[in-house]
Structure 1
Amino acid sequence: MTDRGRPDAGTGPAYPPVTVVVATRDRPGLLERAVQAVLDQDYPGPVECVVVYDHVEIRPLDLDPPAGRTLRYVTNTHRRGLPGGRNTGADEATGDLVAFCDDDDFWLPAKLARQVELLAARPDAAAASCGIRLEGPGIARERRLDRAEVALPDFVEDRVMEVHSSTVLVRRSTWDAVGPVDEELPGGYGEDYEWLLRVAAHGPVVIVPEVLVVVDWHGGSFFFGRWATIVEATRYLLDKHPELAGSRTGLARLHGQIAFALAAGRRRREALRELGRVLRLNPREKRLLVTLPVVLGLLSGERVLRLAQRRGRGV
């Protein structure tokens, strides 16, 4: 920090310009809330918000950006879907730092200021994250990390849910070095995790301990019930990132996800083979227990997933 309490960005401006990308399709009420929270940030530097409409008609919001804030609307020029929307927004970004916010989430006012301050203090860091609060029917739960950073070995072992896509603030130099979100990932499933593996290979993700992002936890997902897509995408991820084989715990987790999706999709023989692999890798992997009732037909995959989501978890 400088003696005036401002982030010292070295050779860059004290308050570097930030571009925030909000990819959307057709959720105007939630989108307006997300964008307003971006415009209301107490960050002293310039903030540009780029709203990317995914191959639908652009509908400008009834919002009046204050001084130091700009609001732009563009159409997704990449492949249809969230990865293409984020990549389009990054193409359009003019800021030295780029952030993403899902259109159904929203930021608390200090989010950008705290993260920019931390990145200024950590020139070795590739990106910054923060704590989240899950809010939805029957749930209000905070998730925050008790560590200063998350490195590649941490992401190999675990997804680290707290590093949510709506929390990430990344240096433009990091984005240019690691490349865009992978639009070839089947169905776009797990695109944020795949990209974070590349980010963490470039440098650590530093963590602001405070809860600064509210995540809409509505008990559902675009991928709810798309079991074949989950299987294909997870296998794609394993093929693309051989470093994932470096952790038996992490590998068991991913094969456990495949086993669960196979069981939920009633591909029971394949699920049992995957469960055997999980058992050999890590007998304590929790997905062994949650998958067996699905394989045996005692519970549906949808039922198990809903039960997990009520506790603020996934499978």
Structure 2
Amino acid sequence: MPTAHENTPAPDRAQEAAASQPWPSVGVVVPTRDRPELLRRALAAVEAQTYPGALEVVVVHDGAPLDTSLVRHGPRPVRVVSNERTPGLAGARNTGIMSLGTDLVAFCDDDDHWMPDKLTTQVRRALAPDRPEMVTCSITVDYDGRRNVRRAGRAEVTHAELTRSIMTMLHSSCMLFDRTALVERIGLVEEDLPGSQNEDWDLKLRASRRRPIAHVDEPLTVVDWGRPSHYAREWDTKISSWEWMLAHHPEIARDRRGAARVHGQLAFAEAARGHRRDALRWAGRALRSNPLQWRAALALAVVCGLSPDRVLDVLHRFGRGV
């Protein structure tokens, strides 16, 4: 368990609180599209959870036929449904959320998988006296077999911290919510975001605006950054999503470090798709806000001829992204 924050119950108190009451039911939403082998690995990891409470899974097929062979009955049922909302990851997640009636809801992408104690550890934190609406954990990034642990180094994450950084280790496959809080107060996953990109950052910002996000700083989720990812290099969509984030979360632009980060990302994306003038414009804005913004420097290197794919491959080997 993480080191206790002054406003966070100590681990032994959280464990005592969990032991004194029934374990809440948990529903797991797994959106998928044409990755059957990875999906089965994710489902096997959910099935292997040590969690003693009721656990069910809903697999949401997005733009693909239902695979009814995944259906399971018994104490840990698996259902399969089609995305009934906006096509894409956000609509698929929301379809799953709304099909569940569990106390808690967790996300797991089809190319990621959990460590056996993931849910038990997070639910203990969720049952602590402060009853957080959202609990995350840290990750291990797997890039073509090379693994790197990414930790947050804290027991809670504030809104101010998330305006200046997406905090990648608070990955969507780590998210656990009080379902009522998610649906009625935080709000569902944003379906208007271009390509469902940055939907996790938007959700974290909205959740942390209400209350700090409780965090278990253990790498309880393995995130696959392998080359089969649907989203790794979709530059046009990434640019639209970053511009959407700046427009809908003005606090990012007001934070010099946050603005510099997004401007540096925009510069790199523009350079990667060969738009030299736009790349230079965004890089200049990033460096004026923060002269140490390394994404802007990488964008300038790409403008000068460095391969963006080579840059991404090197970053991913160390569990990092642009």
Aligned match of 2:136: 129
Higher mean Cα deviation, 239-248 or 85-94?
239-248
C-alpha distance after superposition, 1:102-124 (max 9, x if no partner)? 10111111111111110111535
Quote the Cα distance in structure 1 between the aligned partners of 2:299 and 2:31.
33
- The question of whether the paired residues in 2 share the 8 Å contact of 1:174 and 1:199 is answered with no
* 1:145 pairs with 2:152: yes
1:6 deviates by: 5.7
Aligned match of 1:7: 18
Aligned match of 1:245: 253
Quote the Cα distance in structure 2 between the aligned partners of 1:38 and 1:65.
14
Aligned match of 1:263: 271
Quote the Cα distance in structure 1 between the aligned partners of 2:54 and 2:174.
19
1:222 deviates by: 2.1
The counterpart of 1:83, out of the listed 74, 87, 90, is 90
Q: After the TM superposition, which residues 154-173 of structure 1 pair with which residues of structure 2 at under 5 Å, given as runs? A: 154-173=161-180
- The question of whether the paired residues in 1 share the 8 Å contact of 2:70 and 2:79 is answered with no
Quote the Cα distance in structure 1 between the aligned partners of 2:177 and 2:77.
19
Aligned match of 1:202: 210
- The question of whether the paired residues in 2 share the 8 Å contact of 1:219 and 1:310 is answered with no
Aligned match of 2:29: 21
Quote the Cα distance in structure 2 between the aligned partners of 1:272 and 1:87.
38
- The question of whether the paired residues in 2 share the 8 Å contact of 1:106 and 1:213 is answered with yes
How many pairs align? 310
C-alpha distance after superposition, 1:155-196 (max 9, x if no partner)? 111111110110110111321212111111112111111111
Aligned match of 2:302: 294
The residue type equivalent to 1:284 in the other structure is L
* 1:118 pairs with 2:118: no
Identity, % of aligned pairs?
42
Quote the Cα distance in structure 2 between the aligned partners of 1:6 and 1:249.
39
Aligned match of 1:108: 115
1:36 deviates by: 1.8
C-alpha distance after superposition, 1:29-61 (max 9, x if no partner)? 111111121122111110110110113211124
In the TM superposition, structure 1's runs of 4+ consecutive aligned residues that sit over 3 Å from their partners are 1-6, 61-66
Quote the Cα distance in structure 1 between the aligned partners of 2:14 and 2:151.
30
Higher mean Cα deviation, 276-285 or 217-226?
217-226
The residue type equivalent to 2:225 in the other structure is W
> TM-score, normalising length from structure 1?
0.92
What is the SS of the residue equivalent to 2:77?
A: strand
> RMSD across aligned C-alpha pairs, in angstroms?
2.0
- The question of whether the paired residues in 2 share the 8 Å contact of 1:8 and 1:120 is answered with no
Higher mean Cα deviation, 299-308 or 80-89?
299-308
What is the SS of the residue equivalent to 2:79?
A: strand
The residue type equivalent to 2:123 in the other structure is V
Q: Specify every segment of 5 or more residues in structure 2 that has no aligned partner in the other structure, as ranges.
A: 1-11
Quote the Cα distance in structure 2 between the aligned partners of 1:63 and 1:74.
10
Quote the Cα distance in structure 2 between the aligned partners of 1:223 and 1:169.
23
Quote the Cα distance in structure 1 between the aligned partners of 2:70 and 2:24.
27
- The question of whether the paired residues in 2 share the 8 Å contact of 1:51 and 1:89 is answered with yes
Compared CA separation, residues 191 and 147, structure 1 to 2 (3 A): same
Aligned match of 2:5: none
1:4 deviates by: 9.1
Quote the Cα distance in structure 2 between the aligned partners of 1:303 and 1:151.
34
Higher mean Cα deviation, 118-127 or 47-56?
118-127
1:63 deviates by: 6.9
1:217 deviates by: 2.4
Quote the Cα distance in structure 1 between the aligned partners of 2:253 and 2:178.
28
Quote the Cα distance in structure 2 between the aligned partners of 1:66 and 1:136.
35
Quote the Cα distance in structure 1 between the aligned partners of 2:299 and 2:33.
33
Compared CA separation, residues 39 and 271, structure 1 to 2 (3 A): same
1:261 deviates by: 0.7
1:141 deviates by: 1.4
1:303 deviates by: 2.2
Quote the Cα distance in structure 2 between the aligned partners of 1:137 and 1:57.
28
Higher mean Cα deviation, 84-93 or 180-189?
180-189
Higher mean Cα deviation, 199-208 or 81-90?
199-208
